[in-house]
């Protein structure tokens, strides 16, 4: 039997990139999957159609991560539609790259609202529905732990905040048997950061193993954390970056 058979998973920003790979992998493991999207509605719906055609079940829900009410509504719709919520993957995020003097207050607000506040809102809302065995997995970044160059300060700030939040929530929810962890991808071959992009060689030069992640590799780690074999793992961070932070 698939390891996630009978489980319901919500993946924020799950219609493209790493999020889409995670969604496919959780569906392949037997989970019913719900994905949220902001502007990528067509991609999200195409993904759900693909999963349903393969015999799975899912739903695409529009939710602007800058709108806490929309994030909460996505959680509630998941539970209303499928009767439960077992796995939350906080995947949605933005990557704003500018030198510090060029960063505006609006840049700060947007990054924190999407990368941090939406994670807080989704986690709080999802936790209220989860039973023992629930899983909350947040997608962070290896840049939360090491910043190898300029222009990344705001993004690094937002992802570093998620480390402390993960550890704190793991303590809050541990007595209920809910596991809370964070995954820190490094350079991963997506539309946002393609392996043949103009800065790709520079990124590879920082790695011990000079190759980009495939999104499916990140998805595999997330699927393990979502499954029964990770019962003893909580409050932990997992870096998958080819050794960039080694």
Residuewise pLDDT in 10s, the chain (246 residues): 899 999 999 999 999 999 999 999 999 999 999 999 998 899 999 999 999 999 999 999 999 999 999 999 999 999 999 999 999 999 999 999 999 999 999 999 999 999 999 999 999 999 999 999 999 999 999 999 999 999 999 999 999 999 999 999 999 999 999 999 999 999 999 999 999 999 999 999 999 999 999 999 999 999 999 999 999 999 999 999 999 999
Are the C-beta atoms of 191 and 215 separated by less than 8 Å?
no
pTM, entire model = 0.97
User: What pLDDT score does 177 carry?
Assistant: 98
User: What pLDDT score does 181 carry?
Assistant: 99
CATH of domain 8-240: 3.40.50.720
Residue with tokens 């490094």: 186
Distance CA(204)–CA(213), nearest Å, equals: 11
User: What pLDDT score does 39 carry?
Assistant: 86
| Alpha-helical segments (H) within the chain | 17-28, 41-53, 68-82, 105-112, 118-127, 153-173, 200-205, 215-226
User: What pLDDT score does 1 carry?
Assistant: 84
Distance CA(65)–CA(117), nearest Å, equals: 9
**For residues 229, 142, 154 and 205, what is the CA-based torsion angle, rounded to 10 degrees?**
-160
**Helix 41-53 / helix 17-28 crossing angle, nearest 10 deg:** 20
Catalytic center residues: 155
């Amino acid at each position: 039997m698939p390891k996630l058979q009978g489980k319901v998973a919500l993946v924020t920003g799950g219609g493209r990139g790493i999020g889409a790979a995670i969604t496919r992998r959780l569906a392949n493991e037997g989970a019913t999957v719900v994905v949220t999207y902001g502007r990528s509605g067509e991609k999200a719906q195409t993904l759900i159609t693909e999963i349903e055609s393969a015999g799975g079940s899912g739903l695409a829900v529009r939710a602007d991560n800058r709108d806490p009410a929309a994030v909460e509504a996505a959680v509630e719709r998941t539970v209303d539609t499928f009767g439960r919520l077992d796995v939350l993957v906080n995947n949605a995020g933005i990557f704003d790259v500018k030198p510090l003097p060029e960063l505006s207050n609006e840049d700060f607000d947007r990054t924190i609202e999407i990368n941090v506040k939406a994670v807080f809102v989704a986690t709080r809302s999802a936790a209220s529905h989860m039973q023992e065995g629930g899983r909350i997995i947040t997608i962070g970044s290896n840049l939360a732990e090491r910043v190898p160059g300029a222009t990344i300060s705001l993004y690094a700030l937002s992802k570093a905040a998620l480390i402390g939040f993960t550890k704190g929530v793991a303590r809050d929810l541990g007595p209920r048997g809910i596991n809370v962890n964070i995954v820190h991808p490094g350079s991963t071959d997506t539309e946002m950061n393609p392996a043949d992009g103009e800065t790709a060689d520079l990124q590879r030069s920082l790695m011990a193993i000079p190759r980009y992640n495939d999104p499916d590799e990140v998805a595999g780690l997330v699927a393990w954390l979502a499954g029964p074999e990770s019962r003893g793992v909580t409050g932990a961070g997992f870096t998958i970056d080819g050794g960039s932070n080694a």
